[in-house]
Structure 1
Amino acid sequence: MRLRLRLFEFEDLPWFPAIIRAGMMDYLRFMISTLGTYRPITPLLAEGLARTGQTRVLELGAGAGGGTETVLATLRTHGQPDTTITLTDLYPQPAAWADIARQTQGAIGYEPTSVNALAVPAHLPGFRAIFSAFHHFPPAAAEAMLRDAVRANTGIGVFEGAGKHWAELLLAWTVLPVAQLLLTPFFRPFRLSRLVFTYLIPLIPLCTIWDGSVSLLRMYSTTELLALAHAADPERRFVWHVGKERHWWGPEVTYLIGWPDTSLSEG
């Protein structure tokens, strides 16, 4: 799918009710964690940590923290046993994040205040990563995010849990809504509001279908990702890699990852 449309997503709108946004994020967190969406790119992230000598991943645009526990566990089996992860977002979700922090005995922590991914505060170090959220940023903002990582001389990985195919759009309209209706009672932490706005007033599933479809249409292709990286790093201070990694059972993850080019300092 080469088509890329700049449609709106409900979760991006400042006036969008936080209670509905939280319900949508809870669903995404459950699905991404259960399916191990980002398991295929963990070796890439592990390499980024090793090449930059860091042990902390600073997750930008973390939402409800979906899949982070799987990423942490897999990193620790790929030569990064001391890795920790800090969750950040423009719209923090400390209630959901506190639950993750408890389950991981603090290995996954969080910043409770709002964090702008385009200008990360200096007191939040770490190899930056953004999962399932880079498409929310228009080209100028996406480039600014990458430029801020280059300026800070820290690595950054951009990961989208899809390969941008028409079949994925069909899934967003058919199979995934049914899964959401069947699985919602099992999401944790329990929220009565989640049940109300899923079954009685189905705003959560309807908005999820829209946002999931728009997410695929807004995704950057690998060519576009590399062009953004080169625009953000005109002096080529970073080494950039772009591509797709496939799960053994089919789905793909699109990625862009970069870290400081040590050969420049050696030269």
Structure 2
Amino acid sequence: MRLRLRLFEFEDLSWFPAVVRAGMMDYLHFMISALGTYRPIVPLLAEGLRRSGQPHLLELGAGAGGGTENLLIALRAQGQPDATSTFTDLYPQPAAWAAAARRTHGLIRYEPAPVDALAVPPHLAGFRTIFSAFHHFPPAAATALLRDAVRANTGIGVFEGAGKHWAELLLAVTVLPVAQLLLTPFFRPFRLSRLVFTYLIPLIPLCTIWDGVVSVLRMYSPAELLALARAADPAGAFAWQAGKKRHWWGPQVTYLVGWPVSSAQLAANPEPLL
């Protein structure tokens, strides 16, 4: 699918009720973790950590932190025994993050204050990642986000849990809403508000359907991701790769990764991989 539309998503709106946003993030966290959505990009992420000399992930736009716990386990199996992560977001989710920190015995930490992904504070170091959220940024902001990583001389990985196909739109309006209604009572930690706004006043499922469809329509293709990277890094200080990785059961992950390289490395491998 080549179509890319700049429609709004409810979770981007500053006035959007926090309780509904949290319910949507809980669902996204559950599905990404249960389906192992980002398992295919673990080797890419491990390579990024090695090449940038960073054992620590700095997750931008973390939402409820879906899938990171499983990724850390997989990274440790990929030769990154010291892999840890810090969650950040413009709209922090400290309750969900604190639970993740407890479950991982401190391997996951979090920044309780809002963090702008376009201007990350210097005290927050690490290989930057952004999962299921890069499509929220229009081209100028997306370029600024990548440029900030280049300026900080830190590696970055952008990952979207879809391949931008029409079938994904069909899933977003059929199978996934049914799964949300069936699985919501099992989400932890338990929140009465989640049940109220799912079953009595169904704002969470309705807004999830809209945002899910719009997310696919707003996604950047690998070629567009590389164009954004080149605009953010005109001097070629980073090596960039973009493409898609297929999960064993079918779905794809679209990605862009970049890390600082020496002049010698650039001369040996001048072209990014698409």
For normalisation by structure 1, the TM-score amounts to 0.99
Name the CA distance, whole Å, in 2 between partners of 1:24 and 1:79: 34
Residue aligned with 1:235, SS? coil
Name the CA distance, whole Å, in 2 between partners of 1:170 and 1:123: 42
Q: Which residue does 1:228 correspond to in 2?
A: 228
What are the residue-to-residue correspondences of 1:20-59 with 2, within 5 Å?
Answer: 20-59=20-59
Q: Over aligned residues, Cα RMSD in angstroms? A: 1.1
Name the CA distance, whole Å, in 1 between partners of 2:136 and 2:264: 33
What are the residue-to-residue correspondences of 1:155-194 with 2, within 5 Å?
Answer: 155-194=155-194
Q: CA deviation at 1:71?
A: 1.0
Residues 265 and 242 (structure 1), Cα distance of their counterparts in 2 relative to 1, 3 Å cut: closer
Residue aligned with 1:159, SS? strand
Residues 233 and 97 (structure 1), Cα distance of their counterparts in 2 relative to 1, 3 Å cut: same
Q: CA deviation at 1:126?
A: 0.2
Q: Which residue does 2:130 correspond to in 1?
A: 130
- Corresponding letter in the other structure for 2:104: T
- Corresponding letter in the other structure for 1:59: E
Residues 265 and 34 (structure 1), Cα distance of their counterparts in 2 relative to 1, 3 Å cut: closer
Q: Which residue does 1:5 correspond to in 2?
A: 5
Residue aligned with 2:184, SS? helix
The Cα offsets for residues 72-118 of structure 1, whole Å up to 9 and x where unpaired, read as 11111101011100000000000000000000001011000000000
Question: Contact (CA 8 Å) 1:237, 1:264: kept in 2 or not?
Answer: no
Number of residues paired by the alignment?
267
Q: CA deviation at 1:9?
A: 0.2
Q: CA deviation at 1:70?
A: 1.2
What are the residue-to-residue correspondences of 1:79-94 with 2, within 5 Å?
Answer: 79-94=79-94
Q: Which runs of 5+ in 2 are unaligned?
A: 268-274
Name the CA distance, whole Å, in 2 between partners of 1:6 and 1:266: 35
- Corresponding letter in the other structure for 1:119: A
Residue aligned with 2:256, SS? strand
Q: CA deviation at 1:262?
A: 2.3
Name the CA distance, whole Å, in 1 between partners of 2:249 and 2:50: 28
Q: Which residue does 2:114 correspond to in 1?
A: 114
The Cα offsets for residues 32-79 of structure 1, whole Å up to 9 and x where unpaired, read as 000010000011010010011111000000000011111111111101
Q: Which residue does 1:260 correspond to in 2?
A: 260
Q: Which residue does 1:205 correspond to in 2?
A: 205
Residue aligned with 1:242, SS? strand
Name the CA distance, whole Å, in 1 between partners of 2:141 and 2:266: 32
Same amino acid, percent of matched pairs: 79
Residue aligned with 1:91, SS? coil
Q: CA deviation at 1:265?
A: 8.4
Runs of 4+ in 1 over 4 A off after TM superposition: 264-267
Question: Contact (CA 8 Å) 1:56, 1:84: kept in 2 or not?
Answer: yes
Q: Which runs of 5+ in 1 are unaligned?
A: none
Q: CA deviation at 1:263?
A: 3.5
Name the CA distance, whole Å, in 2 between partners of 1:65 and 1:52: 23
